[in-house]
Structure 1
């Protein structure tokens, strides 16, 4: 079962949780872009409180998987699936910090405070012209477009499409026969089905 945290240790752990979350790039982007809705910032602040509660008030032993699950579920509520390993990294940092705080060791929180940097997500105002960005953006984007354009594969139908309505009507029986043989059916689009002349 969980050992209790002293008041100072609890305050240090809460601050450490908030510092770790403020540096998590995926969370920063999700909040900045409001992927969780208009109240994304409030949701992220609630995550800190929920994690603190899990790490300090749980009646059962808390495992790193429990923290990972909470972080993963939270990011899914932001319509964001994280596959970069950051959930596991954040969970590990929080578990280590919790154990240190239980032992009265606040070094990891102190290091976080000393190296406190603004959140990783860099917001740029629309229309702002950063010199660094303007020099690099044009040439890199053009080079990227040039590189990718030659490697792009496109599926081209074997027979050319005829947009003539007469051809469509005459080809319908062959489409029906093909659909019955292959197990798929042709569905008329809503636009053409309700067309008025």
Structure 2
């Protein structure tokens, strides 16, 4: 079974060193999310569950790049909808909020030069 940190799926992401660094940090946060990893390992989103998890990383990257205001509630909604609609997984353990907070902190650190 593959992992979210796989090196073979950068097709939907613009490639620069800085972007790659931010994407890798997003993937590290997501790879520690038990609910997402369970959905991928058990293929709850179908045979392309790994690809869907990688697309989630790309969607989060795009959200950080394109959103004018980074509200944690919007990120939580993105995570919730992606898990539910793409990976057929309802998360009710509070981990969506935890992951959103980790991503927001990671992004703030990234913006302030802690790359």
Instruction: Tell me what 2:64 maps to.
Output: 55
Cα distance, 1:11 vs structure 2: 2.9
- Equivalent runs, 1:155-194 vs 2, <5 Å: none
Contact 1:9 1:104 in 2 (8 A): no
Equivalent-residue separation in structure 2 for 1:103 and 1:39 (angstroms): 35
TM-score (norm: length of structure 2): 0.80
Cα distance, 1:12 vs structure 2: 2.3
> Does 2:27 match 1:18?
yes
Report which structure shows greater RCO (CA 8 Å, sep ≥6).
2
Instruction: Tell me what 2:49 maps to.
Output: 40
Q: CA RMSD in A?
A: 1.3
> Does 2:102 match 1:93?
yes
Instruction: Extract unaligned runs of 5+ from structure 2.
Output: 1-15
Instruction: Tell me what 1:28 maps to.
Output: 37
Equivalent-residue separation in structure 1 for 2:105 and 2:65 (angstroms): 13
Aligned residue pair count = 99
Instruction: Extract unaligned runs of 5+ from structure 1.
Output: 1-6, 107-197
- Structure number with bigger Rg: 1
Contact 1:9 1:101 in 2 (8 A): no
Query: Displaced runs of 4+ in structure 1, greater than 2 A?
Result: 7-12
1:102-123 deviation digits (Å, cap 9, x = unpaired): 11013xxxxxxxxxxxxxxxxx
SS at match of 2:64: helix
Equivalent-residue separation in structure 2 for 1:9 and 1:65 (angstroms): 26
TM-score (norm: length of structure 1): 0.48
Equivalent-residue separation in structure 1 for 2:44 and 2:76 (angstroms): 20
Cα distance, 1:9 vs structure 2: 4.3
